[in-house]
Homo-oligomer: A and B are copies of this chain.
Amino acid sequence: MVDGAQYARWSRKVFEEMRAGGVDAVHATVAYHENFRETVDLIAAWNRRLAEHGDLIAKARSVEEIEAARATGRTAILFGVQNPSPIEADLGLVEVLADLGIRFLQLTYNNQSLLGAGWQEYEDGGVTRMGREVIAEMNRCGIAIDMSHAGERTAVEAIERSARPVTVSHANPRWWRDTARNVSDRVIDALAAHDGLLGLSLYPHHLAGGPDCTLEDFCAMAARLAERIGPQRIGIGSDLCQDQPDSVVAWMRDGRWTFQTAANPNGPPVFPPQPGWFRSNADFPGIRAGLVTAGFSATEADGIMGNNWIDFMRRAFVRG
């Protein structure tokens, strides 16, 4: 079992739930809007956390390290960042971040970045001059390009330009829940055509019906999607933000680029409640069961629950 996107308030309890849910690897978000130096601090904090809970979790930079963690009964933690802010305007920081263990990096997060446009931006002009350079450098350094939170044009251009497969690690098809945060058929088809992977999200704002979405509806969506692109291009990227305080939503949305939230008359944003069938890492086995009930074979369900991510990482984490 591999989860392609998670940003919990990390704790021993969460790591124990990972073990209880049989989770072999988690792509953990290290940074959102932090600059390089701040991201180094967050990586150092992760290194201390990994040491403190070394009986439950282990840092992984490759499929081999995921397998080693599994062999010792631990959950592998893969580092990722959801915004290219840690690269700042410095192409040389891509390799530095790779050396520090970053294995996933989003070219954009909601807004315009130096590399491309996010889904909430006024206009999406696609991959920029620096964006083309960063894509090539990420390919060279073995960092997976993640286009969650991107604008449609930027996502498609990145998928087409990258020499290695690209992921949208946490989003659902737009036809299922119509929000520009989810992915259009154009993005889905581009991902599939370039052997990428779509991690299905369990974040309520991405689910049809929100917190009331049923497991059956979620798995039926996966089955319909598999008819279009095949089950092997699908994974799970839960976007689980377990135990995070609501102040984290404001940080995710507003970073430091606006002063607006503080002045928002509706009050600060809050996390929506999770659906009852997915409240923690311990609930993953139920999703596998739901996939089988929806008609996936055991092999297909195992692929969606983890093996497809492993296959993707083997092709995306190649260095040189």
* Contact in complex: A259, B91 (CB < 8 Å): yes
The reply on A189 being an interface residue by CB < 8 A is no
Among residues 238 to 256 in chain A, which have CB atoms less than 8 Å away from a CB atom of chain B? 255-256
The reply on A128 being an interface residue by CB < 8 A is yes
The reply on A88 being an interface residue by CB < 8 A is yes
The reply on A124 being an interface residue by CB < 8 A is yes
* Chain B positions within 8 Å of A130 at CB level: 111-112, 257-258
The reply on A103 being an interface residue by CB < 8 A is no
Tell me how many chains of this kind the complex includes. Answer: 2
* Chain B positions within 8 Å of A124 at CB level: 125
* Chain B positions within 8 Å of A35 at CB level: 35, 88-89
A256 partner, pick from B91, B127, B256, B260, beta carbons under 8 A: B91
The reply on A121 being an interface residue by CB < 8 A is yes
The reply on A310 being an interface residue by CB < 8 A is no
Docked pose: A42 CA to B255 CA in angstroms: 27
Residue of B with least CB distance to A37: B37
* Contact in complex: B125, A129 (CB < 8 Å): no
Interface of A is mostly: loop
Number of interface residues of A (CB under 8 A): 32
Residue of B with least CB distance to A130: B257
* Chain B positions within 8 Å of A112 at CB level: 112, 114, 125, 128-131
Q: Mark A118-161, 1 if CB is under 8 A from B, else 0.
A: 00111111111111010000000000000000000000000000
Docked pose: A123 CA to B151 CA in angstroms: 14
Q: A114-B114, A130-B111 are known contacts. Are A255 and B125 too (CB-CB below 8 A)?
A: no
Docked pose: A91 CA to B90 CA in angstroms: 20
A residues lining the B interface (CB < 8 Å): 33, 35, 85, 88-92, 111-114, 117, 120-131, 133, 255-260
